[in-house]
Amino acid sequence: MNTIISNGTPISYHIYGSGPATLLFVHGSFIDQTYWKEQVSFFKEKYKVVTMDLAGHGESGTNRDTWTLHGMADDVVIVIRELQLENVILVGHSLGANLILMAAAQYPGSVIGFIAIDNFKNLATPLPREYESQVAAIIESSKVAYADTNEHYARMVLLTPTTPRWITDKIVAAYRNSYEPMGRQTLPQFFEMDRIERECMPLLRVRMNLINVNYMPTNVAALEKHAVNGYALITLAGTCHYPMLESPKALNEALDEVIDSVLEVNVMR
């Protein structure tokens, strides 16, 4: 296992292949870098491919007293810096997409491309006020019934009744068994993400590329308003939040298309 120490915490990573650009894959909440298995296999023959486990996930460490999304974004930056990655195309799924946005805003020099998978469906848009009581209830429930609250969220928001059973079982287990101190401390921050997105979007120097699944629609008006350097949206058919599990071939084809478009407008340094 390869590790980098970030803010005192070991961050696990793997490097595959070589090529003119580096694809850095960042997973979402409560899962890990193994979810990128099909993408690694597909892209490692053409590019350098780097995967990492976020702190508190997978093989990475859990030795933090304070858990913040900004701290996790710092981990992404440290991986880029310590591995001296160049010509980086950031690929983030779910929370990972939020983190690569924060990382790209903080450390833009090596970043030539940005790809979000099933995220920013209401970019920089606050939740309606009528949902505030529901948010408060979720946060309170997490304090007394962490695993049950996580499972309920996964089934209601990330999965659907038509999602293949093996995917549902895998995601529910991941959410129930996630590292509780990390999950409980970061949960309230998820509901502040619209503010973070509004702060970071003007600092994103490259086009925002999105590959979203149609089980939940994307608010295109919000993209047009906030994606100041432009956006491109590819929509995949699917029943859940995890196209790398449900539709890996379609996801790889979409990623290949977007990566080609990024490289067309970038001269390799």
Determine the Cα angle at 220 with ends 214 and 222, to 5°.
125
Over residues 126-130, mean pLDDT = 91
CB 115 within 8 A of CB 91: yes
pLDDT the model gives residue 84: 98
CA 178 to chain centre: 16
Higher local confidence (pLDDT), 266 or 121: 121
Task: State how far the Cα of 246 lies from the Cα of 90, in Å rounded to an integer.
Answer: 22
Beta bridge partners of 236: 213
Q: How far apart are the first and last CA of the chain?
A: 29
**Which two three-digit tokens encode residue 4?**
């980098």
pLDDT the model gives residue 1: 83
**Which two three-digit tokens encode residue 218?**
């994307």
| Residue 122: C-alpha distances to residues 30, 197, 222 (Å) | 22, 10, 6
pLDDT the model gives residue 45: 97
pLDDT the model gives residue 268: 54
CB 105 within 8 A of CB 197: no
Per residue, the 3-state secondary structure of 161-200, as one string, reads CCCCHHHHHHHHHHHHCCCHHHHHHHHHHHCCHHHHHHHH
CA 60 to chain centre: 16
Residue 72 has pLDDT above 70, yes or no: yes
Instruction: Please state the CATH superfamily assignment of the domain spanning residues 2-126+192-264 in this structure.
Output: Alpha/Beta hydrolase fold, catalytic domain (3.40.50.1820)
Could you tell me the residue ranges of all domains in the chain? 2-126+192-264
What are the E-state strand segments in the chain?
Answer: 2-6, 9-16, 22-26, 48-52, 88-93, 111-117, 208-213, 231-236
**Which two three-digit tokens encode residue 138?**
């979720």
Residue 267 has pLDDT above 80, yes or no: no
Over residues 199-208, mean pLDDT = 98
**Which two three-digit tokens encode residue 84?**
């001296």
Task: State how far the Cα of 239 lies from the Cα of 229, in Å rounded to an integer.
Answer: 30
Q: What is the mean pLDDT of the chain?
A: 97
